[in-house]
Amino acid sequence: MIKLIHNNAKSITRIFNGNKVIGLLTKGISETLFELAEKFPNEVIIWCEKEFEEHLNTDVFSEIFHHDLIMASYAIKSTYLPETIGYIDNLPFVNVNHKVLYPTWQMSTDVGGIKGKVLLHFRELFERAKNFGFLLNSIAKLGQQNGLFCYSAPKLVKKRKSSVDSKLMNTNSGDKFISSPVAFAQPKIRIEAKASSKELFSFTFSHYKNIRILLLFFCLIRYEGRFPLAALILSLFQKKYFNKNFDLSDIDLYSRKNGNRRPTVDVIIPTLGRKEYLLKVLEDLKAQSLKPRKVIIVEQNPDPVSTSDLPELNSNTWPFYIFHFFINETGACNSRNIALNEVNADWVFFADDDIRFDTDLLSNSLDELKRLGADCLNINCKQKGENSVFHKIKQWGSFGSGTSIVSSEFAKNINFDEVFEYGFGEDKDYGMKLRNAGCDIIYHPSIEILHLKAPRGGFRESNLLPWEKDKPKPSPTIMVYAIKHYTLEQLRGFKTELFLRYYFRQKIKNPVVYYKGMKKKWKNSEFWADKLNSDEVKFLNSEKEL
């Protein structure tokens, strides 16, 4: 392990190889970092602000960097980008939970690390970068899109009782505050953003679509009364890295995590009116080289006098236990929660009832989960004739509630929020709950599921919802998700982008009339979202009652 100790990300104070001091280089931090990577390609290169050097938790570094394609940091008192990055990015990687190991490309100069040979892949692009914060965040942003696993890792620093030179929360400040259960004793520590407006716009132009700098500019005017025109113009002269294809395939990816879980899997399938499709799913599970231990099926029919349409489940020919629940109510969230209560295997396969897959799906998935040292695999789900959009294993910004395998250590302790029943967003919400519990979601392009996209049935009914007469925009369940999981800046950016995009998809072309109408639709969505969250609305299970 190589440690580079720096002073406020501006100058190097010491460099260690283990406990041995290496002669200081006279070059800048960024250039020195790449030279260390060239000299020590098989070592993890650690950077650390001198103030926190004695609090490095080196005993767990092997746990954090358990394979070579990991980059991790932890913001103790500073981060590079301000919260305003949320105006143009509403993915989960922006709103970081600092209490757990959390997937994010946002890197702090306070403390962090990356393997030397991985760092060398970025040398040609970023060797001339003078700003250390820009360098680290650019590597992570570009790297994450191309298979680099990037994290905020609280365990990089030890728990301690002494205080650091940080201020307690001031409610009038625009700075970011976090509760830090791992690193420091203060209940609130100010996290200061180092990037200037010029650097924020430069980073945005380099790593996002061009339209995003205009959205950022508009939001800063609209919500903060700022007019950073010079920063906007200067950003147009920066180098572009957005969607740059980057090859990290020569880096071996095999997790060194200790322990081997037993390869046992339970499968949960909610279903409604798709008997023929469901039986084909069961046949695919029957043919698996690694058989599931248990298949938990929640069959729904809203008719109170109905009975099960699946007598085939009582057959003794299935090579696994089938737990069959028949309920006279509908809803994806409720059905999956019922099934989760019966899980006792090591892994849970969340399956849809209209998919098909090869005989090695479960075996290959568990092999890859072990190789990656991951706790959740989002399998590539495609319709017939559809091409894959993403071709690399990567950290995933979403979650497929019908195409994922999750460690039961997490899945058993997390329920689907029934606020989303009969609407949409329960899968994204469940994914956010996984991340906030410390479970990263990994997308795998090479393991595939065919989605037959059955024309009817499944696990939710298409009844008229009580808010449809108010024509809210967005859907109230989407609003619930945004309120639960977005920062203020992300919520404002989401609203602004929605207003702008929808203008070109509707008939009203008078901007004043359109804006007034959209404000009303937004207010209606907030109204119904508040009712959903306060449990004032009780959804009924028959179209007649609705």
The pLDDT tens digits for 90-136 are: 999 999 999 999 999 999 999 999 999 999 999 999 988 999 999 99
Q: How far apart are CA 269 and CA 281, in angstroms?
A: 9
What is the CB-side half-sphere exposure of residue 480 using CA atoms within 13 A? 24
Go through the domains of the chain in sequence order and give each one's CATH number: 2-235 (no CATH), 265-451 (3.90.550.10), 468-533 (no CATH)
The string of pLDDT tens digits covering residues 342-365 is 999 999 999 999 999 999 999 999
* Residue of 113, 79, 110, 109 whose CA lies nearest to 96: 79
Q: How far apart are CA 15 and CA 25, in angstroms?
A: 9
Give the pLDDT confidence score for residue 183 in this predicted structure.
Answer: 42
Q: How far apart are CA 292 and CA 266, in angstroms?
A: 6
Say if residue 349 is exposed, middle or buried (CB neighbours under 10 Å; 0-12, 13-18, 19+).
buried
Question: Cα dist. 352→274, 447, 449 in Å?
Answer: 11, 16, 10
End-to-end CA distance of the chain: 63
Once rounded to an integer, what is the mean pLDDT over residues 364-376?
96
Query: Could you tell me what percent of the chain has a pLDDT over 70?
Result: 89
Question: Cα dist. 33→39, 67, 426 in Å?
Answer: 10, 20, 43
Residue with tokens 């050097």: 53
The string of pLDDT tens digits covering residues 34-62 is 999 999 999 999 999 999 999 999 999 99
Is pLDDT above 50 for 303? Answer: yes
Give the pLDDT confidence score for residue 190 in this predicted structure.
Answer: 67
Residue type, 239: K
Strands 189-193 and 149-152: unpaired
Give the pLDDT confidence score for residue 221 in this predicted structure.
Answer: 98
Once rounded to an integer, what is the mean pLDDT over residues 298-312?
93
Please, which residues bridge with residue 102 across strands?
A: 152
* Residue of 106, 170, 164, 151 whose CA lies nearest to 133: 106
Residues 438-459 as b/e (b if ≥16 CB within 10 A, e otherwise) read bbbbbbbeebbbbbbebeebbb
Confidence of residue 23 (pLDDT cuts 50, 70, 90): confident
Is pLDDT above 60 for 152? Answer: yes
Residue 217: φ, ψ to 5°: -60, -45
The string of pLDDT tens digits covering residues 167-191 is 333 333 344 544 444 444 333 456 8
Report yes or no: 356 and 281 within 8 Å, Cβ to Cβ: yes
SS3 state at 106: coil
When the pLDDT of each residue in the chain is averaged and rounded to a whole number, the result is 90
The string of pLDDT tens digits covering residues 378-430 is 999 999 999 999 999 999 999 999 999 999 999 999 999 999 987 889 999 99
Q: How far apart are CA 419 and CA 429, in angstroms?
A: 10
Residue with tokens 């989303």: 420
Confidence of residue 238 (pLDDT cuts 50, 70, 90): very high
Confidence of residue 151 (pLDDT cuts 50, 70, 90): very high
ω before 302 within 30° of 0 (cis)?
no
Confidence of residue 461 (pLDDT cuts 50, 70, 90): low
Question: Cα dist. 467→355, 369, 429, 470, 526 in Å?
Answer: 32, 42, 21, 6, 11
Is pLDDT above 70 for 544? Answer: no
Handedness of CA 525, 530, 533, 539 (dihedral sign): negative
Give the pLDDT confidence score for residue 182 in this predicted structure.
Answer: 43
Region at 58 (left for phi over 0; alpha for psi -120 to 50; beta for the rest) = alpha
Is pLDDT above 90 for 281? Answer: yes
Once rounded to an integer, what is the mean pLDDT over residues 225-231?
97
Q: How far apart are CA 431 and CA 92, in angstroms?
A: 9
Confidence of residue 261 (pLDDT cuts 50, 70, 90): low
Once rounded to an integer, what is the mean pLDDT over residues 319-348?
95
DSSP string of 42-101, one letter each residue? TSEEEEEEGGGGGGB-GGGHHHHT-SSSEEEEE-SSEESS-GGGGGS--STTTS--TTS-
* Residue of 429, 437, 415 whose CA lies nearest to 341: 415
SS3 state at 385: coil
Give the pLDDT confidence score for residue 424 in this predicted structure.
Answer: 83
Is pLDDT above 80 for 311? Answer: yes
Residue with tokens 């937004």: 522
Once rounded to an integer, what is the mean pLDDT over residues 465-483?
92
Token pair of 45, please? 């290169």
Report yes or no: 215 and 251 within 8 Å, Cβ to Cβ: no
Question: What is the separation of C-alpha 68 from the centre of its chain, rounded to a whole number of angstroms?
Answer: 21
Give the pLDDT confidence score for residue 180 in this predicted structure.
Answer: 47
Q: How far apart are CA 271 and CA 403, in angstroms?
A: 14
Handedness of CA 107, 110, 113, 117 (dihedral sign): positive
Once rounded to an integer, what is the mean pLDDT over residues 283-302?
96
Please, which residues bridge with residue 380 across strands?
A: 448
**Which residues 6+ apart lie within 8 Å of 132 measured at CB?**
6, 9, 10, 29, 30, 47, 109
**Cα 207-138-243 angle, rounded to 5 deg:** 35
Query: Could you tell me what percent of the chain has a pLDDT over 90?
Result: 82
SS3 state at 202: helix
The string of pLDDT tens digits covering residues 241-255 is 998 988 999 999 999
Q: How far apart are CA 392 and CA 242, in angstroms?
A: 16
Residue 224: φ, ψ to 5°: -125, 0
Q: How far apart are CA 247 and CA 264, in angstroms?
A: 34
Give the pLDDT confidence score for residue 188 in this predicted structure.
Answer: 46
Report yes or no: 90 and 493 within 8 Å, Cβ to Cβ: yes
Q: How far apart are CA 114 and CA 118, in angstroms?
A: 7
Lowest mean pLDDT, pick from 158-162, 249-253, 402-406, 442-446: 158-162
